[in-house]
Amino acid sequence: MNIPKNINHAIIAIWFTLAISAVTAVIDKQIGNISSDMFMFNLVIYGILCVFPYKISKGSNPARYIFTILTVIGYLFMLGGGTTDMTKLDVALSVILVPIDIFIFYRLFNSEGNNWFAQAK
């Protein structure tokens, strides 16, 4: 089954956000904003999150919803004051990624996306 263009755009955007987040972790480590342990923890988390674009590309509807829920929870946590332990670079990146995440959600949940995920079962 071919992946619709909308879903493919969302998958590419998810990979982009994961890659830019990993690059940000490397920069934070290089300038001394985070410890080696925190750096490794971040990379492990980003590695685990790589499951989402893969599973979404295979038509996994639960992966689509879990990705969305985790992303929204992350933003709600930030709005609730959860930025005190984040570096300035992480906070700035999170703000910059908001429009990209909205784009991803739109692409994943528009009618074409909903139809494709329904058929992919």
Task: Measure the CA–CA gap between 121 and 104, rounded to whole angstroms.
Answer: 21
* pLDDT value of position 101: 96
Burial 38-76 (b: 16+ CB within 10 A, else e): ebeebeeebeebeebbebbbebbbebbeebbeebeeeee
* pLDDT value of position 37: 94
pLDDT digits (tens, 9 = 90+) for 99-114: 999 999 999 999 999 9
pLDDT digits (tens, 9 = 90+) for 66-81: 999 999 998 998 888 8
- Nearest residue to 105 (alpha-carbon basis) of 95, 115, 113, 96: 113
* pLDDT value of position 80: 87
* pLDDT value of position 1: 66
Query: What percent of the chain has pLDDT above 70?
Result: 98
- Nearest residue to 5 (alpha-carbon basis) of 69, 57, 61: 57
Task: Measure the CA–CA gap between 73 and 46, rounded to whole angstroms.
Answer: 16
Task: State both tokens at 40.
Answer: 């490794």
The type of residue at 76 is L
User: Looking at the whole model, is its pTM more than 0.85?
Assistant: yes
